[in-house]
Amino acid sequence: MKKAAGNRQRPHPTNSQWREPDLALLKELISAEVSLPSEAPRALLSVRLSTLTTETTSPVRQELDLRRLARERGYRVVGVASDLNVSAVRVPPWRRRELGHWLNDRVPEFDVLLFWKLDRLVRRLTDLSTMIDWCLRHQKNLVSKHDAIDLSSPAGKVMAELIGGIAEFEAAAISTRVTSLWDYARTQSDWLVGKPPYGYTVDDRGRLVIDPQEQRVLRWCLGAALRGVSARRMTTVLIRARVPTGGGGQWSAGTLLRRLRNPALMGFRVSESKNGGARRSETVLGADGNPIRVADPIVTEAEWLSLQAALGERAKSQPTRREGGATEFLGVLVCADCGTNMTAHRSRGKVRTYEYLRCRRCPSGGLGAPDPESVYGRLTDEVMSALGSEPVLVREYAPGTGTRDRRKRVESTIAHYMTGLEPGGRYTRTSFTRRQAEQALEKLIADLEGLDPQTARDRWLQTSSGGTFRDRWQQEGRETLAADLRRAGITCSVSRHKVPGVRAPKVGLEPMIPADAKERLVVKRDAFTGGSP
């Protein structure tokens, strides 16, 4: 089995909004940290914005204000978690890209979490309650620049929950206003808000009008579909012709099919519906029960019905999509030729239905890999043989606060006795007091030497669960196995070779295990839900 190298850590980036005065102040604030004692509390700065406008507080200002606060309180800044274009209502702190990485994987590296204002951290009272519980368990503090929040005092905890309730109420009010606006806009024939559907644009008067270039694309696709051309083939032609997608990125069969199935092509207002995980656009009906027309049609109703029938004839009944994708091992099984993920597909023949694995880029899926279950079974056997005997280790967080406090008390007491034993000190007046003080001093020095310096640091500990990964995978099933393989960065290269005289290709598997796979297999429990990853 092949070994893969690990990734190097990226430095914290600097964005283009920093001006020369800002950078000069940043340098000054960082330089001031040199004078801080080694045991100064370590601060992590949390910066967040939903959208950057002229009315919002810029990330630069948030960071500089927080660095000033850290200097005032004697904190050493160890990192900045910057999450921009992230909604605090939809994404809790532990699920954000930057802050979530610190909260889940870099807990021992900071003592205090600083944020500019409570609504920059959370917008839901339940999220705030979860963060407070997490901080108390991990002996961390929450400090706000503009709110009276400090978990080191009972009053600070009460104030945090009170302000959190106000922030949640404000977020609910905003959500209600936005929902009301969209509900009203859907009932109007004018185009008030939202992105126009493909094929249309908004003119200077705010009306929805046909985009000539996109109209030609859709009309060509209509004719191709009626001639029996597949969506994949149409996508290939569009990519080769360098036709813009209208939204960035590259054309795909799924994107093209969604646009061709959209009733908005007839000039009707539509709304998106996600039924069973599939994205579909549905016509919005007016008060009279008829579709609301917002623009001239690109295709007639008869043409649209003929188009849907043509697309339906080529549609395949694919396997039910799981939460992780069309195959349980999505992200693990990859094509040996093009490197894309292998996904499960189903094809109906005249006599029976065939299931197979295919990639994304190879012609015809690179011959496909028939019988996905046999591929899954072979992969499971390979992984069980390589890693099944490894013990299951669970990562636990161990704060070093208790040991640090004990060490400080012992060192303070030793200093007290040493001062008293100096010439003229309080313990030198009689031989008895000197002897008692010397004995106490020797005991304290022995206690200090017995304290492990490592236990004075916040750290991760790995404890055994008492079983092996073979036991874990056999008991918890294939989903747990696939999740563990993805976490460890383990992939399996799938090759297909044509065999003369045989219809089905020969399928080869080559698992690739990174050099640090055993370390990455350590189970990291979710500290915010209590479960495993």
Q: What is the dihedral of CA 238, 240, 245, 249, to 10 degrees?
A: 140
Domain assignment present for 286:
yes
Which helix (H) or strand (E) covers residue 142, if one does?
strand 141-144
Does 453 share its domain with 468?
no
pLDDT at residue 6 in the model: 40
Q: Are 426 and 495 part of one and the same domain?
A: no
Q: Determine what percent of the chain is predicted with pLDDT higher than 70.
A: 77
Would you state the pLDDT for residue 12? 43
Q: Which two tokens stand for residue 494?
A: 């799938």
The 3-state DSSP class for residue 501 equals coil
When pLDDT is averaged across residues 301-323 and rounded to a whole number, the result is 72
How confident is the model over 267-279, as a mean pLDDT?
64
Q: Which domain holds residue 226?
A: 200-314
Residue in the structure block whose two tokens are 């802050």: 99
pLDDT at 285: 67
pLDDT in the model for residue 15: 47
Structural domain contains residue 259: yes
User: Residue 206: what residue type?
Assistant: G
Phi/psi region, residue 470 (left: phi>0; alpha: psi -120 to 50; beta: rest), is alpha
The tally of domains found in the chain comes to 4
Q: Is the pLDDT of residue 401 over 70?
A: no
DSSP 18-87: --HHHHHHHHHHHHHGGGS-TTPPEEEEEEEESS--TTSPPHHHHHHHHHHHHHHHTPEEEEEEEEES--
- To the nearest whole number, what is the mean pLDDT of the chain? 80
> Of 250-254, 476-480, 503-507, which has the strongest mean pLDDT?
476-480
Q: CA quadruple 449, 451, 456, 460: dihedral positive or negative?
A: positive
Q: Label residue 111 by pLDDT band (50, 70, 90).
A: very high
Q: What is the mean pLDDT of residues 167-174?
A: 58
* Type of residue at 34: V
Q: Is 265 among the domain residues? A: yes
Domain for residue 184, yes or no?
Answer: no
Neighbouring CB atoms inside 10 A of 44's CB total: 25
Distance CA 203, CA 96 (A): 37
- 14 band by pLDDT with thresholds 50, 70 and 90: very low
Average pLDDT over residues 22-29: 91
Q: What is the DSSP letter of 178?
A: H
DSSP per-residue letters across 151-169 = TTSHHHHHHHHHHHHHHHH
Claim to verify: residue 40 and residue 147 sit in the same structural domain: yes
Q: Which two tokens stand for residue 446?
A: 């022995």
Is residue 98 over pLDDT 60? yes
Confidence of residue 54 (pLDDT cuts 50, 70, 90): very low
160 with 277, same domain?
Answer: no
Q: Maximum distance among all alpha carbons in the chain?
A: 112
Domain contains 15: no
Residues 31 and 118 reside in one and the same domain:
yes
| Position with higher pLDDT, 284 vs 483 | 483
The answer to whether residue 13 is domain-embedded is: no
Pick the closest to residue 117 from 167, 169, 67, 43 (CA basis).
167
Spatial distance between the Cα atoms of 371 and 518, rounded to a whole number of angstroms: 30
Decide if pLDDT at 486 tops 90: yes
Q: Are the beta carbons of 461 and 396 closer than 8 angstroms?
A: yes
Q: How confident is the model at residue 310 (pLDDT cuts 50, 70, 90)?
A: confident
The side-by-side arrangement of strands in the sheet containing 459-468 is 459-468, 391-398, 523-524
pLDDT in the model for residue 63: 93
The reported pTM is 0.61
Domain boundary among 416, 431, 457: 457
Residues 344 and 465 in one domain: yes
Same domain, residue pair 431 and 501? no
Q: What confidence score (pLDDT) does residue 272 get? A: 66
Please, what sign has the CA dihedral across residues 218, 223, 224, 226? positive
pLDDT digits (tens, 9 = 90+) for 197-252: 888 887 777 678 888 998 999 999 999 999 988 888 899 999 998 888 877 678 88
Residue ending a domain, among 284, 314, 344, is: 314
Please check the confidence at residue 492 and state whether its pLDDT lies above 90.
yes
Task: Indicate if 428 and 491 belong to the same structural domain.
Answer: no
Distance, in Å, from the CA atom of 281 to the CA atom of 211, rounded to the nearest integer, reads 20
User: Exposure string (b/e) for 491-500, b if CB count within 10 Å is 16 or more?
Assistant: bbbbbbeeee
Q: Between the CA of residue 160 and those of 80, 125, 126, 148, 164, what are the distances in Å?
A: 22, 10, 12, 7, 6
Q: What is the mean pLDDT of residues 89-110?
A: 92
* Residue predicted with more confidence, 521 or 503: 521
CA distance 169 to 175: 10
Does residue 321 belong to any structural domain of this protein?
A: no
Contact 114, 145 (CB under 8 A): yes
Once rounded to an integer, what is the mean pLDDT over residues 177-201? 61
Of the candidates 151, 144, 155, which has an alpha carbon nearest to the alpha carbon of residue 119? 144
**Alpha-carbon span 450 to 443, nearest angstrom:** 11
Shared domain for 343 and 477, answered yes or no, is: yes
Question: Is 180 domain-assigned?
Answer: no
Q: At which of 173, 208, 233 does a domain end?
A: 173
What's the pLDDT at 69?
A: 94
DSSP result, 233-274: HHHHHHHHTT---SSSS---HHHHHHHHT-GGGGTB-EEEEE
- Residue 383 and residue 245 share a domain: no
For residues 377-389, average pLDDT: 93
Q: How far is CA 277 from CA 274, 320, 326, 484, in A?
A: 5, 10, 12, 25
Between CA 66 and CA 143 the distance in angstroms is 10
Instruction: In whole angstroms, give the CA distance from residue 407 to residue 402.
Output: 9
State the average pLDDT over residues 326-342.
88
Q: Does residue 262 sit in the same domain as residue 143?
A: no
The CATH number of the domain where 82 resides is what?
Answer: 3.40.50.1390
Asked whether residue 472 falls in the same domain as residue 445, the answer is no
Tell me which of 317 and 288 has the higher pLDDT. 288
Higher pLDDT, 112 or 453: 112
